[in-house]
Amino acid sequence: MAGPGGPRDGAADDQGDPESVARAICLRALTGSAKTRSQLADLLERRGVPEDAASAVLDRFGEVGLIDDAAFARAWVTSRQAGRGLARRALRAELRAKGVDGEDAEQALAQVDDEDERASARHLVERRLPALRRVDRVTATRRLVGMLARKGYNGGLAGAVVREVLEETGFGDDDSDLTAWGGEED
């Protein structure tokens, strides 16, 4: 619908001034899930909100605690590390993509230490291993290391964890591992 000034854009609506529009857009966006300041700034820019109005609203939302990049980063790292088993490197890249860099990101990533990362990698390998019972040890190793690499684990840790789990389970040592994993002996 066109108003007296021409066609309506994303920022023009019945609420009037640009700051009111920016507030409404941000509140709707924050209703579903937490967002970073950068994500909200990008949204406001896409919706055609003037930069000064967007900045004023984002500053105010930060003052009252509706936008908190440090808290967002901590929650994101906790959730993604526990749920998806991502390594710090992958988590850092995801935070950067969400607009969280620097000290906020590093403090959040500090929640995950080397032992947490190793335990998570081990859990991922143990969970995936039964699905590989019909392949040889070399193929299983390649697939498991590849899976860990896609989740951000460095090659040294990935290789060590995979070797450790394969050794402990006896995977691929001989044909007897087929029965241990539910297969049949020849």
CB atoms within 10 A of CB 109: 18
Domain range holding 168?
Answer: 114-181
> What's residue 103's pLDDT?
94
The predicted model gives 51-72 an average pLDDT of 95
pLDDT at 7 over 70: no
Q: Tell me, yes or no, whether 9 lies in a domain.
A: yes
Q: Say which residue, 149 or 182, is predicted with more confidence.
A: 149
Q: Note whether 101 and 127 are same-domain residues.
A: no
pLDDT at 170: 87
| Region 114-130 average pLDDT | 95
Contact 102, 147 (CB under 8 A): no
182: left (phi over 0), alpha (psi -120 to 50) or beta: left
In a domain, 186, yes or no: no
Report pLDDT for 101.
Answer: 85
Question: At which of 34, 52, 67 does a domain end?
Answer: 67
DSSP label at residue 4:
T
Query: Hunting for tokens 């850092």 — which residue is that?
Result: 92
What is the number of domains present in the chain? 3
Is a pLDDT exceeding 90 seen at residue 161? yes
At residue 174 the predicted structure's pLDDT band, cuts being 50, 70 and 90, is: low
